[in-house]
Chain A
Amino acid sequence: MKNNVLIIGGGPAGIEASAQLQRLGYNVILIEKGSSLGGHLSKWDRLFPDGVHADGVLSSMLKNMSGVKSFTDTQVKSINRLDKSYNVILSNGISVLADAVLLASGFTLFRAEKKEEYGYGIYDHVITNADLEAYFSIGSDSRIDKPKKIGFVHCVGSRDEKAGCRACSKVCCATAVKQACEMKEEFPDAEVYCFYMDLRMFGRHYEDLYLKAQKEYGVRFIRGRVAEVSENADGSLQVKAEDTFSSKPLKVTLDLLVLMAGMRPSDAGRRVGDLLGMSVEEDGFFAVRDSVTSNQRSPLPGVFLAGTATGPKTLPETIADARGASMEIDRYLTDVFPQASDYKKLIREKW
């Protein structure tokens, strides 16, 4: 018989892992609390560093997982460990006997309104990176009204102990620079400012993106965290930061402020984690067996982790992580359920 693998979370990690595991010959069940698969990727317009369209990426990923049993609008009701496997009851009434569980619960974006001084949800022209992506795909947003001066605030809810997150969210810098360029394309004669603490352009081609932003789009990078935002009589924003290079406080009037909300652990994930009794680290993301050699294994037998459930990751990293998790699961199941191994061998030869 085929082994059942339950994948919790229908984002890129879950999708990729389900595709891989299905190829390996497992009976994969994918559940997603939302009404559609794709997670944050489905809400994004284009991806850094070279601006490929997110929907294209997602649809090709979905194509790879065709045939996988996936349930949307579904959550885990209860989950308890039997001798080798987990008995999971889903909110849609179905119960699954899972030989392995992959937790790909992803992240939630930091709630920008928590940084009160930025006035998200209070000032008319303050939006988040996600709002801007939505604007790019839908093409309209009442808060974006032919801005002449646009500001991007990096590290909103990242590297900020006041906001309860000491860690770097890894993707915001590149996203901000990407979005800055896109805004310049949309509004060529707008001034665009990026307020950063450190520009972490670590990945391949990221530095090129940075150079392009400066050279071709004339984006102005200011090293200093925005500390105070207020609204002028005309509804424009007065933004205060320090230009740490000239160690002087600065003030600038902006028509649009984009907050680069960081990655926080997903609440839904935490809920399932609690059901399983899984431990989280100080940063709120799930603990792994070993941060170097087995990043995809949870301390619990048969429970695996993939993607941003174990901390901020870029999309390629997430996909690679999901593949890694698939291999781990395969190894685990081969060891734990030897009798099924020849069947799987057959499937593999066939494929």
Chain B
Amino acid sequence: MVDFGYGISPSSRLDLDKFDRKTFDLLVAEEPDVKKCIACGSCTAVCAAGKFVPTSLRSAILAIQNGLPDKALELLKPCQLCGKCTLVCPREINTRHLILSIIKIYSAK
């Protein structure tokens, strides 16, 4: 292999073909509310942990659907489960259980 001093830069593009339906169905079985998100961002806005680190349930759900479960985990690990997001969610998503379920299912594999 020759080193030319430059190389192929990795693509920043999301590949939805990488979305893992099987695991997602496990999540849905655990907490169906995951399908109800309308990405309004209320959860992120009120997040108690958000004051210290970037964390967002909205983005986490998105990351999972975009086939990036590890990113989702990173986004949710700082969660304090304080439940503010549950109170503001317009779609009445059971956010705390959703967060727990995501971590449970995607950290398992």
Instruction: Name A residues whose Cβ lies closer than 8 Å to a Cβ of B.
Output: 191, 193, 211, 214-215, 218, 220-221, 223, 243, 245-246, 248-253
- Main DSSP-derived SS at the A contact region: strand
Q: Are B39 and A249 in touch, CB under 8 angstroms?
A: no
State the Cβ distance, A125 to closest chain B Cβ, in Å. 16
Q: Which of B8-16, B76-84, B97-105 contacts A (4 or more CB under 8 A)?
A: B8-16
Interface centre among B12, B35, B36 (most CB of A within 10 A): B35
Q: From known contacts A243-B66, A249-B13, A253-B17, infer whether A218 and B35 are also in contact, taking CB-CB under 8 Å.
A: yes
Give the residue of A191, A193, A245 whose beta carbon is less than 8 angstroms from that of B62.
A245
Report how far A223 CA is from B40 CA in the complex, Å: 12
Q: Are A243 and B14 in touch, CB under 8 angstroms?
A: yes
Q: Which of B9-55 contact A (CB under 8 A)?
A: 12-17, 19, 21, 28, 32, 35-39
Q: Are A215 and B35 in touch, CB under 8 angstroms?
A: yes
B89 CB-CB contact with A under 8 Å? no
Q: Are B15 and A251 in touch, CB under 8 angstroms?
A: yes
Task: Write out the residue numbers on chain A whose beta carbons fall within 8 Å of the beta carbon of B19.
Answer: 191
Task: Write out the residue numbers on chain A whose beta carbons fall within 8 Å of the beta carbon of B35.
Answer: 214-215, 218
B88 CB-CB contact with A under 8 Å? no
Q: Are B59 and A246 in touch, CB under 8 angstroms?
A: yes
Report how far A250 CA is from B37 CA in the complex, Å: 20
State the Cβ distance, B91 to closest chain A Cβ, in Å. 8
Task: Write out the residue numbers on chain A whose beta carbons fall within 8 Å of the beta carbon of B86.
Answer: none
Q: Are B62 and A243 in touch, CB under 8 angstroms?
A: yes
State the Cβ distance, B59 to closest chain A Cβ, in Å. 7
Give the residue of A214, A243, A245, A252 whose beta carbon is less than 8 angstroms from that of B17.
A252
Report how far A191 CA is from B15 CA in the complex, Å: 14
